[in-house]
Amino acid sequence: MVVIRELLAPDIDSFHAALDAVAQERRFLVFTVAPSIELLRRTIMLSLARGDPRLVAIDDGVVVGWCHVVSSRSDTMGHCGTLAMGLLPPYRGRGIGERLLLKTISAARARGITRIELGVFSDNQAAIKLYKRAGFIKEGLRRKAVQIDREYFDEIIMALLI
């Protein structure tokens, strides 16, 4: 059974492996390999210290998905956060992503975040439908925003106002 809970420091190695696996699919993220484990560990620990909502989906002790909202560091935009999420392929289409997303939104609301932003590739229809069901609205389009293997991808900018 997949459990959704806050990410803890001991989860970072497993999170790194999941992040790298999704990045290497070269279809969903704006990078094709995960950052180094050292950089990721520092980034996550700083984010956790700030109280950013960082949730993970765990199956048998292994991170199989994640969703987090990283808050803005600006004093005028502290009410804003940027959402990112991903799931390993065997866990997609099973409602896990929706559970993860809704719990993360709830955690962001409790933290005082009133605007959540995200970017999603325009060909990722499953994710776009998920975000719309959660209340996100399209705010813009960044044409040819990402290039992977000489192919360009448009990025849809969406936001949820809480």
Residues 6 or more apart in contact with residue 77 via CB below 8 angstroms: none
Q: Which helix (H) or strand (E) holds 43?
A: helix 37-50
Which tokens in the block code for residue 47? 């984010």
Give the residue numbers spanning the domain of 110: 3-161
pLDDT in tens, the chain (162 residues): 999 999 999 999 999 999 999 999 999 999 999 999 999 999 999 999 999 999 999 999 999 999 999 999 888 998 999 999 999 999 999 999 999 999 999 999 999 999 999 999 999 999 999 999 999 999 999 999 999 999 999 999 999 999
Domain count, the chain: 1
Residue 12 belongs to domain with CATH number: 3.40.630.30
Question: Using CA atoms, how far apart are residues 137 and 159, in angstroms rounded to an integer?
Answer: 6
Residues 6 or more apart in contact with residue 133 via CB below 8 angstroms: 98
Question: Using CA atoms, how far apart are residues 114 and 41, in angstroms rounded to an integer?
Answer: 27
Query: Quick one: which of 47, 76, 53, 58 has its CA closest to 11?
Result: 58
Question: Using CA atoms, how far apart are residues 108 and 103, in angstroms rounded to an integer?
Answer: 9
- Three-state DSSP at 128 gives helix
32-53 pLDDT tens trace: 999 999 999 999 999 999 999 9
Q: What is the DSSP letter of 14?
A: H
